[in-house]
């Protein structure tokens, strides 16, 4: 008997049909409360399709998310279940890209990112309206209330490692029920950041930023004529009551708009990215943020830090000068500029001026005084080597010039070293430097004084 083989396209159609059949059976079982059958049918469908959910048409994909999400919820995995159920809401908000792959199999990619990742060209855009959101709401309302209480309790007790995933769970549960309340996503990101869960926090803040959410809220209040109490009203009730005028049960209508948190989203996420050594991502985010908030000092500082961590020194110096122009009274920016300029011997004079400005603004800035002393001294090791080389070559005049120039530099550095010691008297390096400088200017009394200080500090360190 002749063997019959199905074409690749026919095999794909057969698999798609089988997946649809299994998911439909799982959906019907879940609706009748037969959890065991629902899980069996769901497992069969997943065994066929693996992670290829793009083979499911949106209506079937919605049923899959519904059964998968509720199965996890009923199995005591609310966070995982909520994540799947929340995908149903995304089905209604995302473009569905429909077409066929190279084997002529029908495909459905949800969202532009998935479409681009597929590499398939010529896909058509469609939309889909979910039908199960109301049904979900009835199932998860008690769960979202319980999760919200747990999240708030954990946050108030500063148990941020628990609060982060719980707030994310609440967000996903409400999203699955058609309420995309991003304040819970914000609290999730905030909690994750406090718990040093950088990856999870970054994910939450990226979602907030990319969604266009600002965190600004409008509250609607009015005074109840019967009770005399000021009450919070929803927008529709507030507007209708206000239109009724004297016939309304309310008076003294007011609105209050809370400030936007959008700049905070950019600042926090950029800092998290830098802490996670994701420097290029941080720079991209900061540049995007500074287009929206060009005068944001925090983003400017973070941009400088990002340039430094990424090794973009020239960009870092440009950034510092821009920050100084915006805020000429910040000693830290002048200090950082001095440090960067000091790396180039040709810019030594500019570096000195930057450090001087820094200590002018902050007279007890020990690090700035230290750097000012060392930059003024120059490369003392090189000066000694040059002097020895000149002497060896019997270039007496050059040797004398080198040593005299060195003495002049050390004498000029002495006042700065003294200021360093005054700002940080317990720093043994400052004491050592002063001992050497006093020796070079032949101040024997001071040299002896600081030699004794050094020995006393060394004894205390033992």
Positive or negative, the Cα torsion across 372, 376, 382, 388?
A: negative
Nearest to 357 by CA among 330, 339, 321, 394: 330
Give the residue carrying structure tokens 């490692």. 161
User: In whole angstroms, what is the distance from residue 207 CA to residue 176 CA?
Assistant: 16
Q: Tell if the pTM clears 0.75, that is, is over it.
A: no
| H/E run at residue 219 | strand 218-224
8 A C-beta contact, residue 144 and residue 93: no
Residue 144 tokens read as 């979202």
Cα 65 from chain centroid (whole Å):
29
Residue 359 tokens read as 């200590």
Torsion of CA 114, 117, 118, 123, to 10 degrees: 60
Query: Strands of 250-257's sheet, edge to edge?
Result: 230-233, 218-224, 250-257
DSSP string, 45-91: HHHHHTT-GGGS-HHHHHHHHHHHHHHHHHTT-HHHHHHHHHHHHHH
Q: Which residues contact 429 (CB under 8 A, 6 or more apart)?
A: 370
Residue 383 tokens read as 């000066």
| Interstrand relation of 124-126 and 96-100 (parallel, antiparallel or unpaired) | antiparallel
8 A C-beta contact, residue 30 and residue 71: yes
8 A C-beta contact, residue 103 and residue 172: no
DSSP string, 148-168: HHHHHHHHHTT-HHHHHHHHH
pLDDT tens, the chain, 462 aa long: 444 443 444 334 444 556 778 888 888 888 888 888 888 888 888 887 778 888 889 999 999 998 998 888 888 888 888 888 888 888 888 899 999 888 888 889 999 989 999 899 899 999 999 888 878 877 777 888 888 999 999 999 999 999 999 999 999 888 887 788 899 999 999 999 999 999 999 999 999 999 999 988 888 999 998 899 998 888 888 888 888 888 888 999 999 988 999 999 999 999 999 999 999 999 999 999 988 998 787 888 888 888 888 888 888 888 888 888 888 998 988 988 888 888 888 888 899 999 999 999 999 999 999 999 999 988 878 888 888 888 888 888 888 898 888 888 889 999 999 999 999 999 999 999 999 899 988 899 999 999 999 999 888 876
Nearest to 60 by CA among 430, 305, 68: 68
Which own/partner pairs from 162-166 qualify as long-range (CB within 8 Å, at least 24 positions apart)? 163/187, 163/188, 163/191, 163/195, 164/188, 164/189, 164/191, 164/192, 164/194, 164/195, 164/197, 164/200, 164/201, 165/79, 165/200
| Interstrand relation of 124-126 and 218-224 (parallel, antiparallel or unpaired) | unpaired
How many CB atoms within 10 Å of residue 226? 7
Angstrom CA distances, 127 to 91, 123, 347, stand at 8, 13, 61
The predicted-structure confidence for 310-350, as pLDDT tens digits, reads as follows 888 888 888 888 888 888 998 988 988 888 888 888 888 89
Query: Strands of 96-100's sheet, edge to edge?
Result: 106-110, 96-100, 124-126
pLDDT attached to residue 296? 82
Q: Which residues contact 257 (CB under 8 A, 6 or more apart)?
A: 216, 217, 218
């Amino acid at each position: 008997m002749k063997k019959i083989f199905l074409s690749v396209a026919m095999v794909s159609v057969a698999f798609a049909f089988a997946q649809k059949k299994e998911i439909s059976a799982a959906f019907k079982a879940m609706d009748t409360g037969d959890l065991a059958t629902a899980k069996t049918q769901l497992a069969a469908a997943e065994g066929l399709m693996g992670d290829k959910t793009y083979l499911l048409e949106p209506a079937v994909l919605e049923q899959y998310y519904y059964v998968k999400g509720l199965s996890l919820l009923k199995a005591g995995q609310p966070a995982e279940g909520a994540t799947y159920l929340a995908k149903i809401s995304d089905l209604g908000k995302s473009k569905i890209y429909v077409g066929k792959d190279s084997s002529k199999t029908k495909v459905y990619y949800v969202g532009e990112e998935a479409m681009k990742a597929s590499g398939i060209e010529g896909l058509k855009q469609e939309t889909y309206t979910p039908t199960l959101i109301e049904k979900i709401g009835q199932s998860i309302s008690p769960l979202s209330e319980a999760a919200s209480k747990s999240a708030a309790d954990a946050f108030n007790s500063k148990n941020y490692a628990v609060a982060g995933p719980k707030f994310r769970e609440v967000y996903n549960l409400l999203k699955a029920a058609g309420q995309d309340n991003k304040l819970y996503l914000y609290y999730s990101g905030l909690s994750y950041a406090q718990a040093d869960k950088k990856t999870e926090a970054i994910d939450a803040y990226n979602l907030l930023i990319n969604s266009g959410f600002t965190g600004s809220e409008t509250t609607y209040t009015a005074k109840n004529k019967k009770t005399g109490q000021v009450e919070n009203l929803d927008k529709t009730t507030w507007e209708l009551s206000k239109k009724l005028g004297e016939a309304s049960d309310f008076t003294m209508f007011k609105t209050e708009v809370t400030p936007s948190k959008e700049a905070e989203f950019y600042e926090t996420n950029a800092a998290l990215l830098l802490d996670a050594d994701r420097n290029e991502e941080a720079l991209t985010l900061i540049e995007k943020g500074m287009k929206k908030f060009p005068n944001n000092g925090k983003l400017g500082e973070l941009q400088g830090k990002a340039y430094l961590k990424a090794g973009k020194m020239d960009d870092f110096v440009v950034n510092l000068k821009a920050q100084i122009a915006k805020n000429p009274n910040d000693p830290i920016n002048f200090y950082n500029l001095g440090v960067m300029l000091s790396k180039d011997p040709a810019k030594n004079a500019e570096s000195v001026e930057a450090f001087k400005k820094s200590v002018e603004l902050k007279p007890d800035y020990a690090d700035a005084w230290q750097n000012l002393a060392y930059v003024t001294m120059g490369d003392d090791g090189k000066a000694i080597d040059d002097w020895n080389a000149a002497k060896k070559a019997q270039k007496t005049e050059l040797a004398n010039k080198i040593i005299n120039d060195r003495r002049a530099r050390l004498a000029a550095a002495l006042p700065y070293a003294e200021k360093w010691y005054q700002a940080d008297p317990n720093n043994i390096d400052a004491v050592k430097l002063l001992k050497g400088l006093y020796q070079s200017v032949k101040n024997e009394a001071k040299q002896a004084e600081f030699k004794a200080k050094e020995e006393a500090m060394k004894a205390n360190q033992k």
